[in-house]
Amino acid sequence: MKKSNIIQYLVVAGLLFATAACKKDFLEKKPLTEYEESDVWKDKGLVQAFVNDLYVQMRPGYLEVMLASMTDEARFIHDYNTSRVVQGNVSPDDIGRLSDFARWDNHYKEIRNCNMFFEKIDQSPIDDVTRNAMKGEVHFMRAWYYHMLVKYYGGVPLITRTFSVKGDEQEILNIKRATYEDCVKFISDECDSASKLLPVVYELPKDKGRVTKGAAMALKSRVLLYAASDYFNVNVKSPLMGYTSGSQTDRLRAAKNAAKAVMDLGIYELYHPTDSAAENYSRIFLDKDHKELIFIKQYDKALLGTSHDLYNGPNGYHNWGGNVPIENFVTGYQMKDGSTFSWANADQAKAPYVGRDPRFYATILYDGAKWKPRPKDGAEVDPIGIIQTGKYEPKNGGRDSVWGLDTRNSTIENWNGTFSGYYLRKFMDKNLDAQFFRGDQNWIFIRYAEVLLNYAEASIWLGEEADALPALNAVRTRAGMPATAATGDALKAVLKYERRYELAYEEHRFFDARRWVTDAMTYFNGNALGIEVLGSQIANHPFVYRPISIQSRSFKEKDYLLPIPAAEIRKNGNLEQQVPYK
């Protein structure tokens, strides 16, 4: 481990957690530039900093390019190689922008640090209580980083010890991929090991944000549900890409039991602080420390604030308008009574943003949505703060139409507006002037609504619909939608709807559509659509809404899992490539 990394750990420990590494007497022991790997395990503060860094390296979803833009949820307007992904042009040599997410090298670096921890921790001068708690955290982290790899690649090499640069380089360069089954079992076992050592809750404020017993159990729930899904169980081409033996029913049972175990802890609940369903949904992602949160990444405005609002806010507010919802996703929002929205319905087509699922209003900024006060140059035109993504008939009856302030022809900024006619509302803090300040919204890795939907899905696929309905309807009614009494395929469709819209933009859709197999082929193929809004500044003049094509997209059989990076196969000829890429 390099000296610079040790310095990084110290900084992390000081900024994110109140540990012994911050004490003056500790820092005065030796100049920071002189710490070596062997020093880490001799001091409790340095060990704590080492563990803290495993949290820091966890990638949140608040990146400039969101994973949603590689699905049917959004399009990234600046491209940044995202079009290569959605058009099915990834290859072992180049997976496009997905390299920011799949992160083969980065995840294995953190796995190596987890392995090093387990090799060294018993030599450190730490009390047994603290040591066991740390072991629980690192078991979780090793499970987390492997789960991130397996989600994208299927079976990967299972490495559980460190390798010296000189003595073991040949051995590490000959490691084969483990089967998908072995990887899932390893991750599940790591979650079990973590849950046995971790507390249900932490008592001290300094431990806020650390993983808990519930987080480990909830991660196991996710991993086992994915493993029980059709893609990994039906017509599997290789044991590296799914199960080739055993019972899918047994795997669904294990997934259901894992979710139920989290529910039985009795410490989590769906958050509903107000009488407004839309407001409740917004506040899940803005309020702190509520009981729906299971595992989060915290942000501090001064130190590690998020730029999510700047990256995605409308250009009419001097923001970058990056990951914009597409009409394919917007169309899918049900009406508030649970019925389907359709552009073929003349009344709905005249007023497409009226009477929709309340989560729509907390997730999407659309033409005519009331947002927040504009900056000075925009307030002169729009003193209220209404999203303008249309082209409007002028008030004075002139011949030239007026482009909205949030279009690509805006008079405020005309280069970074939406292609789709929409902007992202979810996660956004309307009290933040994102042009100048960062936000402090949590990035939620795991929340209780996901666990309930995990339980409901496993129950439905097992044919145990009576068990599924209370969990599914708890999520649905919290959102202001009517409870369902559907059965059979109709109930499966409701479950898929809830995962799609309850968990929208939280990095689930990329995997859900793939593991359900036909959903990826159905929804990731064809054109991405936007909306053209032709309106008027004259009262009572009608608006016209017209879906338009904004990008061609393609999804092929090879796209369910990512190819193993060609650079890794060149280093290690024992790494077997995915079947479709051979």
Q: Is the pLDDT of residue 9 over 80?
A: no
pLDDT in the model for residue 301: 83
- No. of helices (H) and no. of strands (E), the chain: 24, 10
Mean pLDDT, all residues of the chain? 92
Please determine, for residue 397, whether its predicted confidence score (pLDDT) is greater than 80: no
**Residue range 308-312: mean pLDDT, rounded:** 96
The residue among 86 and 203 whose pLDDT is bigger is: 86
State the pLDDT at residue 396.
Answer: 75
Between CA 459 and CA 275 the distance in angstroms is 30
For 29-63, the pLDDT digits (tens) are: 444 344 577 789 999 999 999 999 999 999 999 99
Q: pLDDT band at residue 537, thresholds of 50, 70 and 90? A: confident
DSSP per residue, 317-352: GT----EEE-HHHHHTPPBTTSPPP-TTSHHHHHST
- Residue 473 banded pLDDT, cuts 50, 70, 90: very high
Res 198 pLDDT > 70: yes
Who has greater pLDDT, 1 or 572?
572
- pLDDT at 503 (0 to 100): 98
pLDDT-based confidence at 422, cuts 50/70/90? very high
State residue 302's pLDDT score: 80
Q: What is the mean pLDDT of residues 536-541?
A: 86
pLDDT above 70 coverage of the chain, percent: 92
CA 29 to chain centre: 41
Question: Which of left, alpha, beta for 491 (phi over 0: left; psi -120 to 50: alpha)?
Answer: alpha
Residue keyed to tokens 């666990």:
451
- How sure is the predictor about 500, in pLDDT bands with cuts at 50, 70 and 90? very high
Q: Using CB atoms within 10 A of its CB, is residue 274 exposed (0-12), middle (13-18) or buried (19+)?
A: exposed
Q: Which residues of 466-504 are buried (b: 16+ CB within 10 A; e: fewer)?
A: ebbbebbbbbbebbbbeebebeeeebbebbbbbbbbbbb
pLDDT of 581 over the 70 cut? yes
Residue 304, pLDDT score = 78
Least confident of 282-291, 294-303, 425-434: 294-303
pLDDT tens digits along 143-187: 999 999 999 999 999 999 997 655 555 667 789 999 999 999 999
Q: Which of 369, 441, 51 is nearest to 211 (CA)?
A: 51
pLDDT in tens, 230-277: 999 999 999 999 999 999 999 999 999 999 999 999 999 999 999 999
Q: What does the alpha-carbon distance between residue 1 and residue 77 come to, in Å, rounded to a whole number?
A: 39
Strand locations in 64-119 (E): 74-76
| Model pLDDT for residues 71-100, shown as the tens digit of each residue | 999 999 999 999 999 999 999 999 999 999
Q: How confident is the model at residue 433 (pLDDT cuts 50, 70, 90)?
A: very high
pLDDT at residue 303, as a whole number: 80
Q: At residue 452, does pLDDT exceed 80?
A: yes
Helix (H) or strand (E) holding 24: helix 24-27
User: Regarding beta strands 391-393 and 526-536, do their DSSP bridges make them parallel or antiparallel, or are they unpaired?
Assistant: parallel
- Of 301, 334, 344, 530, the C-alpha closest to 423 is 530
User: Residue type at 353?
Assistant: Y
Query: What is the structure's pLDDT at 205?
Result: 84
- pLDDT digit string, tens, across residues 349-370: 999 999 999 999 999 999 999 9
pLDDT, one tens digit per residue, over 319-341 is: 999 999 999 999 999 999 999 99
H helices present in 424-553, as ranges: 448-461, 465-478, 488-502, 509-515, 518-523
**pLDDT at site 111:** 97
pLDDT band, residue 14 (cuts 50/70/90) = very low
Model pLDDT, residue 520: 98
At 103, list the tokens: 């992160």
| Residue 13 banded pLDDT, cuts 50, 70, 90 | very low
